[in-house]
């Protein structure tokens, strides 16, 4: 069995090298995955369940209201990620 790319990091480390190794691994994984939607479905379900639990921890809301609130929490989460990404891009310049 060939050695994993993650085990062949240079002695000096290097964030850029680790990033490149991760990108290579991701490309190889998706090249071998026949159905991306099916492969990522459990993660999407889990993320949705997380926001539904946050929106209605006691489980007392109507299904429609819980979904509306979970959608709002999901939007807020994605906006936070976008903000952090923009901040990281600005700081790397």
Contact residues for 5 (Cβ-Cβ < 8 A; gap 6+): 21, 24, 25
Residue 40 lies in a domain: yes
Residue 5 lies in a domain: no
Under 8 Å between Cβ of 67 and 49: no
Residue 2 lies in a domain: no
Q: Residues in the chain with pLDDT < 50?
A: 1
Q: Please give the biggest Cα pair distance in the chain.
A: 56
Residue 3 lies in a domain: no
pLDDT score, position 1: 44
Provide the residue range defining the domain that includes 14: 10-91
Residue 32 lies in a domain: yes
- Global pTM? 0.68
- Inter-axis angle of helices 36-55 and 63-91, to 10 degrees? 110
| DSSP 8-class letter at 58 | T
- The total domain count for the chain is 1
């Amino acid at each position: 069995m060939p050695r994993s790319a993650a085990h062949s990091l240079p002695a000096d480390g290097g964030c850029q090298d680790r990033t490149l190794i991760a990108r290579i691994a991701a490309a190889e994984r998706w090249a071998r995955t026949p159905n991306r939607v099916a492969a990522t479905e459990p993660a999407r379900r889990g993320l949705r369940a997380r926001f539904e639990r946050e929106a209605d921890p006691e489980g007392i809301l109507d299904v429609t209201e819980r979904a509306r609130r979970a959608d709002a929490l999901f939007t807020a989460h994605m906006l936070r990620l976008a903000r952090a990404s923009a901040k990281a891009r600005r700081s790397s310049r």
